[in-house]
Amino acid sequence: MNIEQIYREESGRILATLIRLLGDLDLAEDAVQEAFAAALAAWPKTGAPANPRAWLVSAGRNKAVDLLRRRALLESKRDELARLNALAEQVADVPEETMLKDDRLRLIFTCCHPALPREAQVPLTLRTLCGLSTEEIAHAFLVPVPTMAQRLVRAKQKIRDAGIPYRVPADEELPDRVETVLLVVYLVFNEGYNASAGDALVRRELCGEAIRLGRLVHGLMPGEPEAQALLALMLLHDSRRDARTTESGEIVLLEEQDRSRWHRDQIAEGLELVENALGRGARGPYALQAAIAALHAQAKSVQETDWHQIAALYELLWQVQPSPVVELNRAVAVAMANGLSEGLLLLDALQERGELRGYYLLPAARGDLLRRMERWEQSGEAYREALALVSNEAERKFLQRRLAEVQGKI
Amino acid sequence: MQYLLLIYDQESQWGKLNEAEQGKMMHEYGELTKSIQQSGHYLASSQLHPVAKATTVRVRDGKKLVTDGPFAETKEQLGGFYLIEAKDLDDAVAIAARIPSARLGSIEIRPLVVRERVAA
């Protein structure tokens, strides 16, 4: 393994451990950078050590001691000297695997602390646990680099000044806090999956990062079936990545996708995870969405899809997460299961309530049902409505194609 | 770390409670104070008179301006505070959640700035 690979895979763990040892995120980040710089200088001559991670942790710790010593000398600060002495007394032995696990778990809960703004939780998690650079994160979230850098700095300042702890929350707080962690992972995934603008390829890497995080969270909290369900959900969605767009980047709908291009290994893993999670009683939003994704993944075609069960699952999902977007999806499933006109009635009712005004997928879904019902003029009208609202270029192209298609029938 | 827990609620709501409810709330406050004194979190606390008794002072160009009322008219008013010593933010949040007014209004948690004492 070269140093770059080690950085990618280990920097999150090393950072987490150094934060525990040093009690300071900024100092730990500097120490990680210095440790890798030392490795770049030393390893080509000496060869990589047998246990690179232990080497880097101990190098980082020594670098931090140097940094603190320099600061202490410059400013003759008593508390820095006290920290220094405490550090020097720590035994420099190789940390146990379980300890490393705990370090990262603590760090996740810190990065996803509810006292941090959402717009900081997500990048901070990617920065510290996935080792993404500020530039990469800024690029992925379509934010200027200085803006993202400032967000990260502010978040770290709040962690320090408000006393946000590096600690796994107490049992009674755990359910709420786990929910935030899972939401952050899910947001990273969606950011990549629904890349609504910008360099889609770069942004799709976020799906990979989210799955990596999902594996980590599931591995760290094996007792949380919702964490397992979230991993399943992401794997099942991501398994369709190659079939979802044409080579020129145009959207291919589920019913037109070449299912032989779905990643079967990922589907198999996702199915096993979701079955296990459901078996352990998971009934939250991730478990239900994963169950829906599992039914799609198992179907040979749209016609052979179990739409009745999908509609029933959306009904359950609506009960735990009563949002108009869930209702929209349920209406489409009902249309496929019980007949187009029944689904259309639900969509019309949703439109009348006006909660999804400005959301292009509602007129797009109406346009699609009306198209299937061969009500060409009304369908065209709905597609025009959708086109007025859509912002994503690939989706605009798709809607234009559909509009041209129904107009040709009039 | 030291945290100031600022208790905000609508003064008008207090008036809507009947005597028994007011008494129950005051009793809960007393119990909370006792409990966090015993656990070593407590540093200071007080209820504040309503904003009708507030006075605001500004000095501009060396001239003192005194006006009636609070600094800003808001929907919820500062009604009291606790000053506590807590291990970290989670510890402070746990105490803030036990303040009876958290159920009606909201508690703002502000960490105190620690300045190192400069040796003379």
Three-state SS string over chain A comes to: CCHHHHHHHHHHHHHHHHHHHHCCHHHHHHHHHHHHHHHHHHHHHHCCCCCHHHHHHHHHHHHHHHHHHHHHHHHCCHHHHHHHHHHHHCCCCCCCHHHHHHHHHHHHHHHCCCCCCHHHHHHHHHHHHCCCCHHHHHHHCCCCHHHHHHHHHHHHHHHHHCCCCCCCCCCCCHHHHHHHHHHHHHHHHHHHHCCCCCCHHHHHHHHHHHHHHHHHHHHHCCCCHHHHHHHHHHHHHHCCCCCCECCCCCECCHHHCCHHHCCHHHHHHHHHHHHHHHHCCCCCHHHHHHHHHHHHHHCCCCCCCCHHHHHHHHHHHHHHCCCHHHHHHHHHHHHHHHCHHHHHHHHHHHHHHCCCCCCCHHHHHHHHHHHHCCCHHHHHHHHHHHHHHCCCHHHHHHHHHHHHHHHCCC
Task: Return the number of other C-beta atoms located less than 10 Å from residue A409's C-beta.
Answer: 11
> Nearest CA of chain A to the CA of B1: how many Å?
7
The complex's ipTM works out to 0.85
Kindly state the percentage of chain B with pLDDT values over 70: 96
At A199, the pLDDT band (50, 70, 90 cuts) reads low
Lowest model confidence (mean pLDDT) among A147-161, A332-346, B62-76: B62-76
Can you give the pLDDT at residue A121?
Answer: 94
Is B116 in Cβ contact with A163 (below 8 Å)? no
Residue B115, pLDDT > 90, answer no
- Stated pTM of the model: 0.81
The more confident residue out of A117 and A202 is A117
Is B116 in Cβ contact with A77 (below 8 Å)? yes
At A200, the pLDDT band (50, 70, 90 cuts) reads low
Extract the tokens encoding A365: 């879904």
Per residue in A227-261, pLDDT tens?
Answer: 999 999 999 999 998 898 888 778 888 889 999 99
| A161: chain B residues, CB-CB within 8 Å | 111, 113
Extract the tokens encoding A383: 């597609």
* Greatest Cα-to-Cα distance within chain B, rounded to the nearest angstrom: 56
Can you give the pLDDT at residue B84?
Answer: 98
Nearest CB among B88, B111, B116 relative to A165 is that of: B88
> Which residue of chain B comes nearest to A170, CA vs CA?
B90
At B120, the pLDDT band (50, 70, 90 cuts) reads very low
The more confident residue out of A129 and A162 is A162
Can you give the pLDDT at residue A12?
Answer: 86
Kindly state the percentage of chain A with pLDDT values over 90: 57
CB proximity A408 to B under 8 Å: no
Nearest CB among A115, A163, A167 relative to B1 is that of: A163
Nearest CB among B87, B94, B111 relative to A162 is that of: B111
CB proximity A75 to B under 8 Å: no
Is A161 in Cβ contact with B88 (below 8 Å)? no
CB proximity A89 to B under 8 Å: no
Is A77 in Cβ contact with B90 (below 8 Å)? no
Which of these, A236, A366, A210, lies nearest to A292 by C-alpha position? Answer: A236
Per residue in A343-375, pLDDT tens?
Answer: 999 999 999 998 888 899 999 999 999 999 999
Residue A142, pLDDT > 70, answer yes
Residue A284, pLDDT > 50, answer yes
Average of pLDDT values for B5-9? 96
Kindly state the percentage of chain B with pLDDT values over 90: 81
Per residue in A78-127, pLDDT tens?
Answer: 666 666 666 666 544 545 555 666 788 889 999 999 999 999 999 999 89
Is A165 in Cβ contact with B90 (below 8 Å)? yes
Is B86 in Cβ contact with A167 (below 8 Å)? no
Give which of A164, A174, A177 to mutate to test B binding, by max B Cβ within 10 Å: A164
Is B89 in Cβ contact with A162 (below 8 Å)? yes
Q: What are the residues of chain B with a beta carbon less than 8 Å away from any beta carbon of chain A? A: 1, 3, 86-94, 109, 111, 113, 116
Can you give the pLDDT at residue B35?
Answer: 98
User: Would the CA dihedral through B45, B46, B47, B48 be positive or negative?
Assistant: negative
Nearest CB among A77, A161, A167 relative to B111 is that of: A161
Per residue in A14-56, pLDDT tens?
Answer: 999 998 888 888 899 999 999 999 999 999 998 889 888 899 9
